Structure formats: structure tokens, C-alpha cells
């Protein structure tokens, strides 16, 4: 039985692809479980399987003057033959390899196979769970009308792993087909009934944009440029706030690349989703102003009372600041965390116009660098901070408001 047992272990290691130590520990635990299932008790029994497949069984027994339970006790005389200094009341490990032969073969086989399946599942999960937060290349296999697209990740254990892109994670403007190779963001790995793993993936997750930037922009991957925030409406537009962590480094230029090579690679991967690269600022008013790219506001007042940014822009740029269906202001609110109210200048009051005219962004990307920080004010109804040009007036026109949520 020992030689057959050793051959079976060798076969398990070869077929399952599990580390040898994992198989040995699993088999030992399975044998112990089989023994307890067949005979009960056995809490004092310990089973080990060495790298050669040899089984060693040990029983912890109490040294007594006269034994009453041979499974739990050992006489002083016998104990001292094993350990000369053994004393009454002491517990010693006694070689009990005969137990191995008493375990019913069929029971042992069933329990071992069950435990091996559990170990295989756990080992696979330990490997796959590290995918969370990463981009993986998968192949769309078929569309389930309820669960969404099923994905194949070219793994050996395809019968134990199921990739799913739920319908809610599909980009509305993208068209998918069976057999399509596509890069997907892994946002969760779950154990499901039937001892299968589910890899949940997305094309809409904002961290898909983050990982694409990390893969295309070495400065972001190395940490000299940091992404401070991402606001995204998948398939349409994203705003990405960046800041340099190294003096003299242009964070926006790093993201754009020579002749737009880096950002264009990202845009192509996102099927021409527009991307605004924004200069992050620690000053909230300046950050809000930057976030409304491609518009350069005349003034930004921050009202702490209701966490609202009151933004004044040129009348001819009002529609551009708000964006189609409010998208530009809405993304700015998501990016900055402030509710954004956009308004035109008050009639009769003048502002210095921006030094250059901002046009509608090009189809691939737009960028917005940090503007000089303006002065700060405090009003009667709570804290108010503003980033403004000289001769700026107070806010009177009804604003177009967009919440950060």
C-alpha cells in the first residue's frame, strides 16, 4: 500500500501542478481526517508525509504507572525504553505508524481527493487574487443575456476559472464580439458555489484609465508624476489630475509624450474617449479652475457653507464650460469634490479676459496647466475663497450647478 500511495502522490503533484509541500501537507491532513472519520477521537494523533511520500504517524501519550487507555496512555517502563528520562505525567510522542494501515483505503481515497480539490482551489485563488487592480488581456467567448460577456484568460485551469464582464461594466459606445481580444480591468475575484473562481472585469472602471497611464508614462509608474484624481464618463470623456513630485518636471508634458504619442496610445485603447489632463493644485479654487478645461474661468469663489464652487466664465464660453448635457462641469465636480456652479459675468462689471482664446478640444485629448493663484476673500455667510482676475465682481447671475456626485 505504501508504494501505491507514494505513486499516487507523485501523480497528484504532476497532474495538479501544486507545490510538493502543499500536496504533502494536504495529504497528511486528509489521512488524519479519514482516521478520525473511521474511528473517532484521534485528537492526540499527528500525521506527517515527507517529500518521498513516506507516512509518519505520531500519537501524543501521557506517561502513567499503569495504562487504561492504550490510545491515550503509555506505561512508565515502556516510555523509558523510548526516552530514558521520561517521567510520570509527562506527554511524549510515540511512533504509531500501524494506524496508517488501519485507515480504510476507500475512505482515505475519498478524503484525500476532496482535500486535494480544496487545496487546488485555494492555491489557484492565491494566484488569481493578485490580479485585482490590474489590467489583463482576455478573449470574449460569448454573451450571456443575464450575466454579461464571458471571458477566457488562456489559463490551464479553464474549467475552474470563469471570467465575467457584467453588462453594467460595458462601455455603451463600444461594440464587442465573440473571439475579440481585449484589455480588461480586474476589479474582483470571487469564490462561487461549485468550487469555481469568478474573475470580474470591467471596461468602465476609472482605474482602467489609471493603469493605462502607468503603462504608457514611465514617470507615473516610477512615482515622479502622480495621478491625484480621475473622473470618467466611459466612452465619452475623462479628466485626469496630475502633479509632479520632482522639481522641474512637467507632469502634463510627461503624460502627453512627444507629439502626443503617449496619450494617443491611451486614447486608442479607450476607443477615442477624450481625455483632459489637468494640473492638480493644493489650492481648491485653482484646482476647480483648472478642472474646467478647456475653459479658463475669470473667477472662482469657494463657498464652504455648502461646498460649492461659484465659477464665472466669459459669456461666449459659457456653453463650453458647461459642456454638452452638462458633461464638462459634471466631470469637474467629480474630479474636485466641489459642487460647481457656472455663470456668466454680471452685467456692467468687467474682468480681464484670459490671455489666449481656448478653442474646442481636439478629438484625442486636451490639457490644462495650473494658473497663477488668486487672492482669497471671506464673506459674511461662511468662508469664501476665490481665484480671480482684477476688477472681478460679485456673483449675481443664476448659476448652472453641477454636483460632484
**pLDDT per position as a tens digit, 108-137:** 677 777 777 777 788 888 888 999 999 999
pLDDT at 195: 64
Boundaries of every domain in the chain: 2-128, 132-203, 207-402
Q: Specify the higher pLDDT residue, 79 or 299.
A: 299
Give me the sign of the Cα torsion angle 361, 283, 266, 323. Answer: negative
For residue 106, what is its C-alpha cell?
476507500
pLDDT at 275: 96
Per-residue model confidence as pLDDT tens digits over 288-309: 999 998 899 999 999 999 999 9
Domain range 207-402, CATH architecture: 2-Layer Sandwich (3.30)
pLDDT at 83: 84
Residues of the chain by 3-state class (helix, strand, coil), percent to 5: 35, 30, 35
Please give the DSSP secondary-structure letter assigned to residue 315: G
Are the C-beta atoms of 384 and 370 separated by less than 8 Å? no
pLDDT exceeds 50 at position 171:
yes
Give me the sign of the Cα torsion angle 256, 259, 261, 263. Answer: positive
What is the assigned CATH class of domain 132-203?
Answer: mainly beta
pLDDT exceeds 70 at position 163:
yes
- Residue 358's pLDDT band (boundaries 50, 70, 90)? very low
In angstroms, the CA 18 to CA 22 distance is 7
pLDDT exceeds 50 at position 175:
yes
For residue 332, what is its C-alpha cell?
469637474
Mean pLDDT for 160-169 is 91
Helices within 293-359 (DSSP H only) = 318-322, 327-336
Give exposure, 27-41, as e/b (b: 16+ Cβ within 10 Å). Answer: bbbbbbbbbeeeeee
pLDDT at 400: 55
Per-residue model confidence as pLDDT tens digits over 279-288: 999 999 999 9
In angstroms, the CA 185 to CA 132 distance is 8
- Residue 391's pLDDT band (boundaries 50, 70, 90)? very low
Q: What angle do CA 148, 163, 209 make, to 5 degrees?
A: 85
Q: How confident is the prediction for the chain on average, in pLDDT?
A: 81
Q: Indicate the Cα dihedral angle 129, 133, 138, 144, nearest 10°.
A: 80
Strand 225-233 and strand 299-303: pairing? unpaired
Q: What is each CA distance from 292 to 209, 316, 346, 395, in whole angstroms?
A: 19, 15, 20, 18
In angstroms, the CA 338 to CA 327 distance is 15
Tell me the angle at which helices 261-269 and 206-216 cross, rounded to the nearest 10 degrees: 140
> At 389, phi and psi to the nearest 5?
-90, 160
pLDDT at 374: 40
* CATH fold label, 2-128: N Utilization Substance Protein A; Chain:P; domain 4 (3.30.1480)
What DSSP letter does each residue of 166-189 carry, written as one string? -GGGS-TT----TT-EEEEEEEEE
Q: Specify the higher pLDDT residue, 171 or 154.
A: 171
pLDDT exceeds 80 at position 181:
yes
Per-residue model confidence as pLDDT tens digits over 49-66: 777 767 778 788 888 888
pLDDT at 401: 63
pLDDT at 320: 93
Strand 225-233 and strand 237-244: pairing? antiparallel
For residue 364, what is its C-alpha cell?
484625442
Per-residue model confidence as pLDDT tens digits over 364-373: 465 555 544 4
Amino acid at each position: 500500500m505504501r508504494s501505491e500511495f507514494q505513486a499516487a502522490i507523485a501523480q497528484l503533484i504532476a497532474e495538479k501542478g501544486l507545490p510538493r509541500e502543499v500536496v504533502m501537507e494536504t495529504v497528511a491532513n486528509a489521512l488524519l481526517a479519514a482516521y478520525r472519520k473511521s474511528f473517532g477521537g484521534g485528537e492526540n494523533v499527528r500525521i506527517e508525509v515527507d517529500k518521498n511520500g513516506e507516512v509518519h504517524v505520531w500519537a501524543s501519550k501521557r506517561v502513567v504507572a499503569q495504562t487504561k487507555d492504550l490510545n491515550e496512555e503509555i506505561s512508565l517502563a515502556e516510555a523509558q525504553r523510548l526516552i530514558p528520562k521520561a517521567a510520570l505525567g509527562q506527554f511524549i510522542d510515540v511512533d504509531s505508524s500501524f494506524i496508517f494501515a488501519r485507515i480504510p483505503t476507500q475512505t482515505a481515497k475519498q478524503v484525500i481527493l476532496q482535500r486535494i480539490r480544496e487545496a487546488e482551489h485555494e492555491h489557484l485563488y492565491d494566484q488569481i487574487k493578485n490580479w485585482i487592480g490590474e489590467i489583463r488581456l482576455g478573449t470574449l467567448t460569448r454573451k450571456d443575456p443575464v450575466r454579461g460577456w464571458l471571458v477566457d484568460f488562456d489559463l490551464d485551469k479553464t474549467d475552474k476559472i470563469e471570467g465575467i464582464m457584467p453588462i453594467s461594466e460595458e462601455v455603451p459606445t463600444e461594440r464587442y464580439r465573440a473571439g475579440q481580444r481585449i484589455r480588461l480591468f480586474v476589479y474582483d475575484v470571487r469564490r462561487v458555489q461549485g468550487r469555481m473562481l469568478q474573475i470580474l472585469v470591467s471596461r468602465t472602471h476609472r482605474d482602467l484609465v489609471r493603469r493605462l497611464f502607468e503603462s504608457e508614462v514611465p514617470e507615473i509608474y516610477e512615482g515622479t508624476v502622480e495621478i491625484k484624481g480621475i473622473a470618467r464618463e466611459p466612452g465619452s470623456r475623462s479628466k485626469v489630475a496630475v502633479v509632479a513630485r520632482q522639481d522641474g518636471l512637467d507632469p502634463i508634458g510627461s503624460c502627453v509624450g512627444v507629439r502626443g504619442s503617449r496619450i494617443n496610445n491611451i486614447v486608442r485603447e479607450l476607443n477615442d474617449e477624450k481625455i483632459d489632463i489637468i494640473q492638480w493644485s493644493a489650492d481648491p479654487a485653482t484646482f476647480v479652475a483648472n478642472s474646467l478645461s478647456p475653459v479658463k474661468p475669470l473667477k472662482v469663489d469657494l463657498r464652504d457653507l455648502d461646498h460649492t464652487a461659484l465659477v464665472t466664465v466669459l459669456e461666449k464660453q459659457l456653453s463650453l464650460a458647461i459642456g454638452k448635457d452638462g458633461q464638462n462641469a459634471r466631470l469637474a465636480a467629480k474630479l474636485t469634490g466641489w459642487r460647481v456652479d457656472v455663470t456668466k459675468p454680471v452685467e456692467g462689471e468687467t474682468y480681464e479676459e484670459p490671455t489666449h482664446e481656448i478653442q474646442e478640444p481636439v478629438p484625442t485629448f486636451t490639457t490644462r496647466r495650473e494658473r497663477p493663484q488668486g487672492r482669497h476673500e471671506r464673506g459674511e455667510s461662511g468662508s469664501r475663497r476665490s481665484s480671480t482676475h482684477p476688477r472681478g465682481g460679485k456673483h449675481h447671475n443664476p448659476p448652472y450647478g453641477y454636483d460632484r456626485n
